[in-house]
Structure 1
């Protein structure tokens, strides 16, 4: 990949900062040692014709490069990993890919549902009725993931693109104490977030939000 541009939002509320999915793409690029430019849109631009041409649903991230444009964070991380042996080991490609899909299709849905309920709909009357079942589902996923990790530092024993996706998924419940019930998962997230590439990606995203923070009335 050459001449890479990553599109994200210009600003999001503090509760969502560090969670928007362009973080995954930035992290993968940092791990792969690929330089990139950051571009941003505000919420009013999401439905513009120009941006809808980049992403038909008006979402982020979008990655543009000399090879063309891509949408969907999982697909973008996969494309980056395919060019980086460290993120997608040739001898464990199928296993890495399996865990990438597990993060996005098995673990993320209930965790994202809980985040949406608590953060976006927390004051609505239906939430207390639905929340216990969602928490049970989250705990079920976390327990299974904890067993899978066992005594391994990373999902495959070594850091791969699967860990980028899984860690960013687990961050969706940082507003709760659910992860604390699983010390191995707490240690896993801390281990992944201690990587210099994660720190660089997070700073890149947060610096953009800081530059575009709305002026208080």
Structure 2
């Protein structure tokens, strides 16, 4: 049986590729591993059955035989270590790719999430207008450092796409359409390179199909087939 991942039955972004199952889908597509998807509602995510897989009641989860994982970064790392295509064979290059995975989720993403939280939940607060520039300046500082390190390279470590790039591009996509990302043409081009990869397109289309009625579901709790049938890089 193929691995099963969980995804939102109704996602706040309406399938624009920002929900946390997206990097897991993308990783599976990059390595050519077919997978099934079980859609879950916001209510069912808090029920004991789902919390047995994800103690914090979120998505995604990943089930493969007797292995169950949660946290998108951990799942992507497991996929990258289990299949070829997302981590270099050279030990040092592999370590650097994993380093960039952690950098994406631990250093670059947190202030971006703070900005999103502020936009959606703090706009009516008296201190919102003062706090927002502080958060955006922190994001800008992270982007400056990242842009400097990327330089004119295609990917973060030489010319080879890795799981580090996958997670970094996914994090930066949260800034698409903002002036913050537009200030850094190198990073905008970097994101665009990630988005034209065939594996990204397949993952994006599969997530979007949930919300456009193009996919056929059998109801919550059942798995629907998705995913690549072979490697296409």
Q: Same fold (TM over 0.5)?
A: yes
What's the counterpart of residue 149 of structure 2? 148
Aligned to 2:230: none
Cross-structure match for 2:37: 38
User: CA deviation digits over 1:123-151, x for unaligned, max 9?
Assistant: 43332121011011000000000001001
Q: Distance in 1 between matches of 2:208 and 2:15?
A: 11
Alignment partner, residue 226 of structure 2: none
Aligned position for 2:225? none
1:69 and 1:87 map into 2 onto residues whose CA distance is: 21
Runs of 4+ in 1 over 4 A off after TM superposition: none
- CA RMSD, 1 decimal: 1.6
Matched, 1:75 2:77: no
* 1: CA distance, partners of 2:183 / 2:28: 32
The structure with higher relative contact order (CA 8 Å, sep 6+) is 2
Segments of 5+ residues of structure 2 without an aligned counterpart are: 216-233
Question: Is the CA contact (8 Å cut-off) linking 1:115 and 1:173 kept in structure 2?
Answer: no
Cα separation, 1, equivalents of 2:65 and 2:87 = 22
Contact 2:26–2:200 (8 Å) recurs in 1: yes
Tell whether 2:159 aligns with 1:160.
no
Q: For each residue in 1:106-165, what CA deviation from the matched residue of structure 2 results, as whole angstroms up to 9, or x when unmatched?
A: 101011111121134334333212101101100000000000100110111210001110
State the distance in 1 between where 2:13 and 2:106 align. 26
2:227 alignment partner in structure 1? none
- Which of residues 196, 199, 202 is equivalent to 1:197? 199
Equivalent-residue separation in structure 2 for 1:154 and 1:122 (angstroms): 36
Report the alpha carbon displacement of residue 15 of structure 1 after superposing the two structures with TM: 6.8
The 10-residue stretch of structure 1 (28-37 or 167-176) with the greater mean CA deviation from structure 2: 167-176
Matches within 5 A, 1:20-31: 20-31=19-30
- Contiguous gaps of at least 5 residues in structure 1: 213-217
Higher helix share: 1
> How many residues are aligned here?
211
Give 1:187's match in structure 2, choosing from 189, 209, 217. 189
Distance 1:120 1:18 in 2: 21
